[in-house]
Chains A and B, each alone.
Chain A
Amino acid sequence: MAKTLWTLCTIGISAGAAFADDPAIPWATDWDKALRDAKTRNVPIMFTVHRDG
């Protein structure tokens, strides 16, 4: 079992795939839902604006 898991992980890593539970900020994809979620969860919104170059 452990060997199988290890093999699968090795295949994934060697194929250049990352795992979704690597720590990363969960960015919102829809503003209306973001606002609804913030209200329900009672949390602030962090809105960042960037530009390339």
Chain B
Amino acid sequence: MESSTYPDKKVVEKAKLFVCVVAHDGRGHGTKEVVSGREKRAVCKTYPTITCDDHEKMRETSGRLFPDINAVPATVFCDPEGKELFREIGGKSAGELTKLMDKALEQVPGPKISSDLWQLAESGIAEGDRLLAEGEYAKAIASYQKVGKLKHKPLVEMADGGLGRANEKGNELIQEATGKAEEGDVKEARALLQKVQRDFRGLDCSKDAAQKLKELKEEKEE
């Protein structure tokens, strides 16, 4: 199965609508290098998206979840909550496995998020968090908003979470600006508020910063 079924294009395509887990003892499959962007890493030759340590480590999980498996290869299909739907013992051809995958998919109703889309969303949120930590606020917000356009409710919620974190950061900066104004450093306070108003456009904190700027201006005129 490892050498012919799993690399089969139809199986790989169908697997995008699953979370796939493999428990396989041993670290003797050998390694090969894969290039991802600028990064090069060594992976298992048999399961080329993970390392031998990864599939070895998963043996403990399979023993805990399915202690009654006494023949291998075994393929257990579970629903999204992890509850077993059915299992098959023995090697399967690509055609046989895709039929089993279809059977599992039929038992899980509702819209599904493919692994491609999921990876896109996860990397978008991670990129947004990185940019936010680096002070690239406008770019971070753009990254979250891009995820929010992926049209699946869970992905929109992930994006909203990111935008919420950005808004919190904007509020922190407003607090900082308020402190500066109270200390008499009105010029610095204004600059910081203008930055929040500009970089966090579309978020509540941007409107709050605009309001604070207005208040500072009025105080100055008085």
Task: Name the A residues within 8 Å of B40 (CB-CB).
Answer: 17
Q: Report how far A46 CA is from B115 CA in the complex, Å.
A: 13
Interface size on A, residues (CB 8 A): 35
Contact present for A28 and B80 (CB under 8 Å)? no
- Counting residue pairs across A and B whose Cβ atoms lie within 8 Å, the total is 179
Give A9-44 interface residues, CB cut-off 8 Å to B: 12, 15-29, 31, 34-35, 37-44
Contact present for A29 and B50 (CB under 8 Å)? yes
B11, B25, B80: the one within 8 Å of A25 (CB): B11
- Contact string, B1-29, partner A, CB cutoff 8 A, digits 1/0? 11000110101110111111111111010
A17, A24, A50: the one within 8 Å of B49 (CB): A24
A27-B49, A41-B154 are known contacts. Are A48 and B19 too (CB-CB below 8 A)?
no
Q: Min CB distance, A11 to chain B, in Å?
A: 10
B24, B48, B80: the one within 8 Å of A50 (CB): B24
Q: Report how far A29 CA is from B123 CA in the complex, Å.
A: 17
Q: Report how far A38 CA is from B118 CA in the complex, Å.
A: 11
Q: Min CB distance, A51 to chain B, in Å?
A: 5
Residues of A within 8 A of B (CB): 12, 15-29, 31, 34-35, 37-52
| A–B pairs, 11, beta carbons within 8 Å | A17-B34, A23-B12, A24-B6, A24-B7, A27-B55, A34-B19, A37-B19, A38-B80, A45-B79, A46-B20, A47-B23
